[in-house]
Structure 1
């Protein structure tokens, strides 16, 4: 019976170690992928933002020169660019949802690790100081991951709001008349101001998107450093458990 119990405990600890290693490897891969994608998105978004501003400037000039043909051409170009940005925002919203799911999984993993350490400390009274150190370390990791999850919730909501705004602005922009001919100067001025306001808001949303990507990249790099530290902590903890196991048996 005693041998069976020992085998059971060994199997449980091996399974726990394998699960922790698998979770750590998964988190490392996901973090690296997020950083690579974030850098690519940032480079692309900056280029698209600058191109959008240039098109806006060209549109202003075309309107001032009463160049209807060029105004129509630039309107279609802007619509195409805005449609692309709306589609990209939808993709980013889905990515933000995946990142939130990942951070939630990390918090759950932290809770399981804390519970395992608590149960492990009850099975013997050796190295109580090490057990307390492991528990404090795991609780610190949990706090870090909970903060990361709060950041992901905020990022997701901001991204969803930005996507909704861009979609609404695109819909409004498509409905505007871009005819340079007008009944009165007042009517033309009011329409011009409305178009400018819509395009300015859309341009600013692109700028906000760039700022959000930079912030998320900084968060991802911070999370990668924390995860590296957690993996090191887990290795040290497993080594400590191996020592405890030999001393007990």
Structure 2
């Protein structure tokens, strides 16, 4: 827990202090005065999500709560060795009664499930993995094919719903082990991959706190060049933009940091 506070909480407090003038300006612009409750909320990982300076750090509160739960979950798994499907049943039960607890707790429940999956990831899950993937794929097909839900992961993760969860489980269940092997292979063979992974691993979450500014910069370039509509109308340009945009954000984050 001490390491998580050092790598997440302390960088957030430094970031929040740097952004304090902007926050005070937002309140002043709306004719408001920040209250004591507002200050406490701001300090404890619940800042206002205006002007995109904070909307990228929504998961700090869930992360801290999951960090508190993780030692108990890990101890329970070591002692009682429950099958992975046990957690799936717990998750389903929690979703049946989610209307009785707040959005923050719903988010913690969903992402804690992904965290617990990580504790099982070194084990051979066999049929349990197959069951999870089949259920997840079945729900994705149902959501898209019958309910006609839009494919918008951003809209589905605040708080995360079953479609977001099912999509994530499908990706992890089918491709997780292959992606892990591929990433290790790239890390071993290419120095530039080691450079980026090492710097992000070393600096932790702190380097990501400049992400809001690099995202705004990228969006500004698109608007200035009139590319928003052009990219939106061509799938090939969207794919190119994803790659170029990712590399742009990656390098700007490191440079600003």
What is the TM-score with the length of structure 2 in the denominator? 0.25
Higher relative contact order (CA 8 A, sep 6+): 1
Q: Who wins on radius of gyration, i.e. which is larger?
A: 1
